[in-house]
Amino acid sequence: MHPAMMGALVGAGVAILLYVADYTMIRKGATERAHRKHKNQPVVLDNTERKRLRSLAMFCLILPPAFALGFWMVG
């Protein structure tokens, strides 16, 4: 397999793992906050959390090409 293709696949895997891990941590924090405030409504993310996830998603879009370039330069 071409090194750039391998790098892109590794970068995509890292990006997905990073986004899912951060989403679950933010969701857990929002659930704990709702529990502390004794709210029985569905958990809602506030604006700061949504902006954080959006910026992380933009970073995750850059990861596969960056990893592809890095693997291609090394390999």
Mean pLDDT for the chain overall = 94
Contact between residue 6 and residue 70 where contact means Cβ atoms under 8 Å apart: no
Matching residue, tokens 């970068």: 11
Show the tokens assigned to 31.
């659930």
Identify the pLDDT of residue 21. Answer: 98
Contact between residue 11 and residue 68 where contact means Cβ atoms under 8 Å apart: yes
- 41 — pLDDT class (breaks 50, 70, 90): confident
